[in-house]
């Protein structure tokens, strides 16, 4: 079984409790209840490299609570605070390298929800301030009665194959040497397979056939569903969209193997293991 990063959270989300404020209040009052420690949006790890948790009386001033779910008898919550606007630091990528899959998945869920609330404090339908409801899994507007739910933005991310090589590209903001699978947000009116073909045409100028799903992962920066696919390229001549990619290249199996092994002489620096592009490359190599 393929297990991409940010999957494998083992808690019970207990959706049936979210609309029952009296049940949520009872869970908050339990001595076993735990509050996720966050520094801005990043996790705070303990000495063992596990997610840090506080008791609920450590709830920060003015913070609302998001109910993450039940870890057996432990009700788990995340604090929702107003975040300062501006760029996020990516130092969390160093923490993710040592976090367990379960912890990364649980923190990713909390991060996606906290950032969604922060970016959606007003009702898009009428402009009034909206309020948290469903124990943090939605916002409702008392002015126009519209309910809003957390965005999950589907993104296709894919390896096009041609003559035993796969297409990798690099965006200007990537670390030096990094290449990864091409990707793009899905739009209204297309299937996953159609989005794969459209993105490869737009970004690399190639036509593909036989797009096929491989695996998916939630990506909490800020709230995507990465849908990983393979596709067969009908041509290998590239015409790059310079607004999206600063370079792209076809890489053979030896090159991918070297990059995933971290070899200095490899043709590119591989994406990190918690990114589904890594999963796609490893799956392709094993196929």
Q: What residues line the site for a second copy (CB under 8 A)? A: 4, 6-7, 9, 13, 15-16, 105-106, 108-110, 112-113, 116, 119-129, 137, 146, 148-154, 185-194, 198, 202, 213, 215-218, 220, 223, 225, 227, 241
- What is the closest distance, in whole angstroms, from the C-beta atom of residue 14 to a second copy in the complex? 9
For residue 239, the minimal CB distance to a second copy (Å) is: 11
Residue whose CB is less far from a second copy, 151 or 253 = 151
Q: Give the residue with the Cβ less far from a second copy, 21 or 177.
A: 21
| Smallest separation (angstroms) from a second copy to the CB of 81 | 16
Nearer to a second copy, 89 or 124 (CB): 124
CB of 78 to a second copy, least distance (A): 11
Closest separation in Å from C-beta 113 to a second copy: 6
C-alpha span between 135 and 152 (Å, rounded): 18
Alpha-carbon distance of 142 to 2, in angstroms, equals 43
Smallest separation (angstroms) from a second copy to the CB of 232: 13
Written as six digits, the tokens of 87 are: 């760029």
| Min dist. Cβ of residue 252 to a second copy (A) | 28
Q: Considering the complex, state which of residue 161 and residue 199 has its C-beta at the smaller distance from a second copy.
A: 199
Q: Which is nearer to a second copy, 174 or 213 (CB)?
A: 213
Query: Which residue number, 26 or 153, has a Cβ lying nearer to a second copy?
Result: 153
Q: Which is nearer to a second copy, 63 or 215 (CB)?
A: 215
């Amino acid at each position: 079984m393929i297990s991409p990063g940010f999957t494998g959270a083992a808690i019970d989300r207990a959706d049936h409790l979210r609309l029952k404020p009296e049940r949520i209040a009872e869970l908050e009052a339990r001595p076993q209840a735990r509050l996720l420690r966050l520094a801005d949006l990043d996790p705070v790890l303990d000495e063992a490299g596990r997610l840090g948790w506080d008791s609920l009386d450590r709830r920060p001033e003015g913070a609302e609570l998001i109910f993450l779910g039940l870890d057996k008898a432990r009700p788990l919550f995340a604090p929702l605070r107003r975040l300062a606007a501006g760029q996020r630091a990516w130092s969390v990528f160093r923490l993710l390298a040592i976090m367990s899959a379960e912890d990364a998945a649980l923190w990713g869920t909390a991060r996606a929800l906290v950032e969604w609330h922060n970016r959606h404090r007003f009702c898009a339908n009428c402009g009034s301030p909206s309020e948290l409801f469903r124990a943090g899994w939605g916002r409702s507007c008392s002015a126009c009665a519209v309910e809003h739910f957390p965005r999950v933005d589907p993104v296709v991310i894919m390896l096009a194959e041609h003559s035993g090589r796969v297409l990798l590209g690099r965006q200007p903001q990537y670390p030096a040497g990094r290449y990864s699978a091409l990707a793009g947000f899905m739009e209204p009116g297309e299937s996953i397979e159609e989005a794969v073909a459209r993105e490869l045409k737009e970004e690399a100028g190639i036509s593909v056939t036989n797009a096929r799903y491989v695996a998916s992962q939630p990506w909490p920066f800020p709230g995507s569903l990465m849908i990983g696919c393979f596709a067969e390229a009908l041509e290998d001549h590239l015409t790059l969209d310079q607004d999206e990619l600063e370079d792209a290249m076809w890489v053979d199996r030896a090159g991918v193997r070297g990059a995933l092994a971290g070899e200095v002489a490899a043709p590119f620096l591989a994406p990190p293991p918690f990114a589904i592009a890594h999963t796609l490359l490893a799956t392709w190599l094993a196929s």
